[in-house]
Each structure stands twice: as structure tokens, then as C-alpha cells.
Amino acid sequence: MNYPEIAHKVIQLKDADLALRDELIQKGQLSNGYDTAMEQLHIKNADQLDEIINLIGYPTIEKVGQEASEAAWLIIQHAISKPDFIKKCVQLLQHTDHNDTVKLNIDYLTDRIAVFEEKQQLYGTQFDWDENGELSPQAFDDLNKVNERRKALGLHALEEQTQIIRQRAKEENQSPPTDLEKRKKEIRAWKKR
């Protein structure tokens, strides 16, 4: 069964997310912590996508097309204030037909959940500012094992991905927080909430 109206709606949610991100980049505010307006949009988008999932199940390519399915994954990835929703989506993804894209999406979400639960990532997909003012992968188990897992997924070695992430941040005029300890405290408080 195909759901073109739902596909259109999911793409609109993603477009709103990316538009706000671009706005924050233009204002030089993307690096200033988790922007309140961005968090509210992420929650709203997650709630709307959750309603869609409750109606049609996970929005697979077969149901909504490639663009909308990818848009759904972006919305899920950004739903960091709704960890139960992310976990629900990981479980749903695990029960869909596994192509390489689905496997990669599961692995990204698994790393994201691990970071928020203060566990080590398996694939090194999640980055944050470090003590040297550079974007670096958050905690992971073993570099060789991470690179082996990344290679199996067709991803760059973590060292190469780190350079790509840092270059993208530079192009977007992102900068490290002025008070890293304050940011870490805010993140811990946010995680507890």
C-alpha cells in the first residue's frame, strides 16, 4: 500500500527541520547548545511521525517512497528529547526488510542511544566538542573494532570521518562552546530530564 499524502507530510517535517538548522547556521547559533526552538520542532516532528507510524507502521520505501523514508529517519535521528520514540523506531526498523540503508540507520540510532545512555558507541557516528575545541567522536570501545564495523557498513575510517565532520563544521561557521564545562553540565542535566 502506498501513502502519497503521508509521504508529502513527512517530507514537509524534514524540510522544516533543515530550514531551521540553516537559519541557526546563518545566525551563527548552531554551536550554542541545543536551541530551544530546534528542540521544540524536533519534539513536534517526532510526535507527528509517531502518529503516522501508529497509523501505517514504519514509513518504509515501499509505503512512502525513498525521499519520505529517508526524511522519517532524519526526524527519528533528531528526536533526541524522545528516547523512547527512538528506541521504538529502532525496534520497528529491526523488523523491516534489511537492506544496507536500514542496517546503517539502525547502527546510527544505536550509537545515538548509547551516547545518551552514557555508553560506548560501536560505530563512532556521534560527535561533540572536545577539550581542544574540536569536534571528535564521543566515547567508543576500540578504534580498530570501530573501523572494522564501519568498513563492513561501507563507511569511512573514523579518522577520515572525523576530518570530514570538522571540515563541515568549519564551512558552517560552527565553533566550540565558550565554556565547555558549562555545556557538559547542561548536557548532563538535559539527559536526566
Number of H helices and E strands in the chain, helices first, is 9, 2
Q: How far is CA 82 from CA 18, 40, 63, 130, in A?
A: 19, 11, 24, 25
CA dist 66 and 142 (Å) reads 34
Query: Domain limits of the chain?
Result: 1-97, 119-193
Grid coordinates given for 144: 580498530
- The number of beta carbons lying within 10 Å of the beta carbon of residue 105 is 22
DSSP state of 142: -
Q: From the centroid of its chain, how far is CA 54?
A: 21
- Model confidence, pTM: 0.83
Task: Please report the beta strands in 68-188, taking only residues with DSSP state E, as ranges in sequence order.
Answer: 127-129, 135-137
Grid coordinates given for 64: 512512502
Block residue for cell numbers 529502532: 90
pLDDT averaged over consecutive 10-residue blocks of the chain (193 residues)? 93 97 85 83 98 95 92 94 93 79 86 92 94 94 96 94 95 86 80 71
Mean pLDDT estimate for the chain: 91
**pLDDT tens per residue, range 39-58:** 999 999 999 999 999 999 99
CA dist 10 and 68 (Å) reads 6
DSSP string, 65-118: -HHHHHHHHHHHHT-TT-HHHHHHHHHHHHTS---HHHHHHHHHHHHHHHHHTT
